[in-house]
Amino acid sequence: MQGKTKRGPVELVSGDITAMDTDAIVNPSNTSLILGAGVSGAIALKGGPSIQQEMSRIGGCPVGGAIATGAGALKARYVIHAVGPMMGEGDEDEKLRSATMESLKRAEELKISSITFPAISTGIYGFPLDRCARVMLSAVLEHFNTGAAVNLKRVVFCLWGAEAFGVFEKTLAELEP
Supply the DSSP symbol for 23: S
Q: How many helices (H) and strands (E) does the chain have?
A: 5, 7
CATH number among 2.70.160.11, 3.40.220.10, 3.90.870.30, 3.40.50.300, domain 4-175: 3.40.220.10
Give residue 176's pLDDT.
79
Give residue 7's pLDDT.
64
Nearest to 34 by CA among 59, 67, 16, 69: 59
Give residue 4's pLDDT.
60
Give residue 12's pLDDT.
95
Cα 131 to Cα 11, 53, 138: the distances in Å are 18, 33, 11
Type of residue numbered 133: A
Give residue 9's pLDDT.
87
114-117 and 78-83 strand pairing? unpaired
**Domains of the chain by residue range:** 4-175
Give residue 120's pLDDT.
97
pTM of this structure: 0.94
66-70 and 78-83 strand pairing? antiparallel
Cα–Cα dist 64/50, whole Å:
24
Supply the DSSP symbol for 149: -
Over the chain, what is the mean pLDDT? 93
CA dihedral (135, 81, 12, 140) positive or negative: positive
How many CA atoms are closer than 13 Å to the CA of 40, on its beta-carbon side? Answer: 20
Contact 34, 55 (CB under 8 A): yes
Q: What residues in the chain have per-residue pLDDT under 50? A: 1-2
